Homo-oligomer: A and B are copies of this chain.
Amino acid sequence: MDNRQTLYRFLQSITFVIAMLAAHIDLHAQPSSHPNIIIFLVDDMGWEDTSVPFSGSITSNNKKYHTPNMERLAKEGLKFTNAYAAPVCTPTRVSLITGMNVAHHGVTNWTSPFKNTNSDAKDSLYDPAGWNINGFTPVAGIDRAVHATALPQLLKDAGYFTIHVGKAHWGPQGTPGASPYNVGFTVNISGHAAGHPQSYLSEDNYGNLPGKNSAQSVPDLEQYYQSGTFLTEALTQEAIRSLEYPVAKKQPFFLHFGHYAVHVPLMADKRYYQKYLDRGLDSAEAKYASLIEGMDKSLGDVLDFVDKKGIKENTVILFLTDNGGLALTPPRGGIHLTHNAPLKAGKGSVYEGGIRVPFIIRYPLLVKAGTTTHNPIIVEDIFPAMLELAGVRNYHTIQKVDGLSFVPVLKNPALSDTARVLLWHYPNNWQNRDIPGTNYFSALRKGRWKLIYSLRNNTAELYDLYKDLSEESDLSATYPAKTKELLHLLGKQLKDYNAPMPVDKRTGNPLPYPGE
């Protein structure tokens, strides 16, 4: 052995000893510069689809659903009662990973699994807006896609082990955004271009039976085929297994766990289905409730894993959903459009039922257990907040980030920013069904005030959310100055973002921005 080798081995030894010593001290340090981060993102689950009360009182919906692990998370963390997403899924998902408002990134509707394919429903009066039908792209040169720097990529670059499990839905087949590997994830399990699963059942191989596949066949779960394992459970086991590596390596991780549940097709999670039938729910609603409870069990398993591994204190767990609950019957049972009560309407709508979502964060080193905040936040705020918590500073992004970090609120839940303007924009035709606030609408919230704007009719409604959570009393005639002020704000913001607008077939021109 030559001298250089001797020196090398000595340095190896001393490095190891010091690293161990440092690691030991780290365990007892105050908020680490690199906490683990888990984003637990549920699909199509509404604000009231939980036994956790978000509205200030316990509603009949809260009594209908059983989510003990969400209760546990809320008890150990901070509940946001005024957290918002976009009215449909891909816009929310793109905002989350880019920090951009929907009107800015232009992915205003859910993306088709197929490239260059507009998912808007056909309309006799309007041609689709020039929205980014090819979703998010991490590289330049993809037509009709938003080119941006993704949150997982920044975390990966900062030393995080990044994992995606479940639904991705950032871009269609044939584009880089179709693969979570291109979005900054080192591991991807079952994420691809599709927005829902062909089947939740292992008996159907999750949609991979020979000759019966579709763009919604769930990839990667061969070992669970025909095993009786419900999709939600299979993904949970995979998510937990995927965490073992970074935990063993003591490397900070970012787990983006996007459940396919509780999106249609409504299929019974047999572990919980009978219980809800016994409670008197119709079969569709019992299936839905079983999907909810299966998802909640998954959350519990993730919490158990984190807690047992001794990383509870230093792990941020963020629970949210990607839009309001589906409120259409069918496929839902019960009574049409009541599913998000006391909120109005549901998925697809810019009324509260379509955009206000359950949102809970647990991070024991920073967040006081069992607290609640009413400060409004929106999904793009996750981007700067997570980077701040992760200690990532001076990062470069291609895009201008619109989101504002909610870390100050984590430290002080009583904070309330009533001057903040939140914006929703849905210049699309979701479905040719009559659902309030759903097709060709924008909305804006500032403090107590909520503006609903119809792009087609150029009409505005005004609600006082402090007094009228259910958006029943239009106050636009009572407060014309306030209405005008918010309408001006909305028009200016949409124009600044160069937001896509539906095209009037008669003129061939995009509809004007409000106030133009």
Complex contact B226–A179 (CB within 8 A):
no
Question: How many residues on the A side are at the interface (Cβ–Cβ under 8 A)?
Answer: 57
* Residues of chain A from 194 to 228 with CB closer than 8 A to chain B in the complex: 205, 208, 210-215, 217, 219-227
Pick the contact of A115: B156, B182, B226 (CB < 8 A). B226
Q: Among the listed stretches A26-34, A274-282, A293-301, A412-420, which one makes contact with chain B, having 4 or more residues with CB under 8 Å of it?
A: A26-34
Give the CA-CA distance A28 to B186 in the complex, in Å: 29
CA distance A28 to B29 in the complex (A): 37
Q: Which chain B residues border A245 with CB–CB below 8 Å?
A: 156, 186
CA gap between A186 and B22 in the complex, in Å: 27
What is the distance, in angstroms, from A485's C-beta to the closest C-beta of chain B?
A: 45
Q: Does A335 touch B at the CB level, under 8 Å?
A: no
Chain B residue numbers with a CB within 8 Å of A474 are: none
Q: Does A173 lie within 8 Å of B212, measured CB to CB?
A: no
Scoring A residues 1 to 25 as 1 if CB is less than 8 Å from chain B, else 0, what string do you get?
A: 0001101100110110011011001
A12 lies within 8 A of B4 (CB): no
Question: Nearest Cβ in chain B — how far from A236, in angstroms?
Answer: 14
Residues of the B chain whose Cβ atoms lie less than 8 Å from the Cβ of A238: 181
> What is the CA–CA distance of A115 and B178 in the complex, to the nearest angstrom?
30
Are B222 and A220 interface neighbours, CB within 8 A? no
CA A25 to CA B25, docked complex, whole Å: 28
Q: Which residues of B contact A178 (CB under 8 A)?
A: 222-223, 225
In Å, the complex CA distance between A214 and B11 comes to: 54
Given contacts A173-B222, A222-B173, A226-B174, contact A187 B189 (CB under 8 A): no
Write the nearest CB–CB distance from A31 to chain B, whole angstroms: 11
Task: Tell me how far the C-beta of A294 lies from the nearest C-beta in chain B, rounded to whole angstroms.
Answer: 21
The answer to whether B22 and A175 have CB atoms under 8 Å apart is: no
Inter-chain CA distance A298–B272, complex, in Å, is: 49
Contacts of A192 in B (CB 8 A): 220, 222
Q: For chain A residues 241-271, which have a beta carbon within 8 Å of chain B? A: 241-242, 245
**C-alpha spacing A130/B392, complex, angstroms:** 57
Contact check, B179 vs A193: say whether CB atoms are below 8 A apart: no
Interface flag for A502 (CB, 8 Å): no
In the complex, what residue of chain B is closest to A4 when comparing beta carbons? Answer: B25
- A212→B211 CA distance, assembly (Å): 5
Of the candidates B26, B181, B212, the one whose C-beta lies within 8 Å of that of A8 is B26
Q: Verify B8–A29 contact, CB threshold 8 A.
A: yes
In the bound complex, residues from chain B placing their C-beta under 8 Å from that of A241 are 181
Q: How far is the CB of A226 from chain B (nearest CB, A)?
A: 5
Closest to A12 in B: B22
With A186-B187, A212-B211, A213-B210 as known contacts, state yes or no: A220 contacts B220, CB within 8 Å. Answer: yes
A514 within 8 A of B: no
> Could you say which of B26, B29, B173, B188 contacts A226, with CB atoms under 8 Å apart?
B173
**How far is A400 from B65 in the complex, measured between Cα atoms in Å?**
52
Would you call B28 and A4 a contact (CB within 8 A)? yes
A325 at the interface (CB under 8 A from B): no
Q: Does A176 contact B (CB under 8 A)?
A: yes
B22 and A15 contact, CB distance less than 8 A = yes
Nearest CB in chain B to that of A7: its residue:
B25
Per a CB cutoff under 8 Å, which of B22, B205, B208, B227 touches A11?
A: B22
Asked if residues A223 and B8 are in contact (CB atoms below 8 Å), the reply is no
- Chain B residues with CB below 8 A from A223, complex form: 171, 173-179, 182
> Which residues from chain B contact A5 at a C-beta distance below 8 Å?
29-30
Residues from chain B with a CB closer than 8 A to the CB of A225 are 115, 173-174, 178
Given contacts A173-B226, A245-B186, whether A179 and B28 have CB atoms under 8 Å apart is: no
* Complex contact A179–B15 (CB within 8 A): no
**Bound Cα distance A208, B226 (Å):** 20
* Contact residues, A27-64 vs B (CB, 8 A): 28-30
Nearest B residue to A218 by beta-carbon distance? B219
Our pick among B4, B188, B210, B217 for the contact of A29 (Cβ within 8 Å) is: B4
Q: Which residue of B lies closest to A113 (CB)?
A: B222
B217 touches A213 (CB 8 A): yes
Task: Report the bound CA distance from A384 to B29 in whole Å.
Answer: 42
Q: Contacting A219 at CB < 8 Å: which of B4, B176, B220?
A: B220
Complex CA–CA separation, A15 to B18 (angstroms)? 6
**Top-10 shortest CB links A-B:** A213-B213, A178-B222, A173-B225, A11-B22, A179-B223, A178-B223, A219-B219, A8-B25, A174-B226, A174-B225
Provide 6 A-B residue pairs closer than 8 Å at the C-beta atoms, listed in order of the A residue. Answer: A15-B22, A171-B223, A177-B223, A181-B241, A208-B213, A211-B214
Given contacts A210-B214, A212-B213, A220-B220, 10 further A-B contacts (CB under 8 A): A8-B29, A18-B18, A19-B19, A115-B225, A173-B226, A174-B225, A179-B223, A192-B220, A211-B212, A219-B219
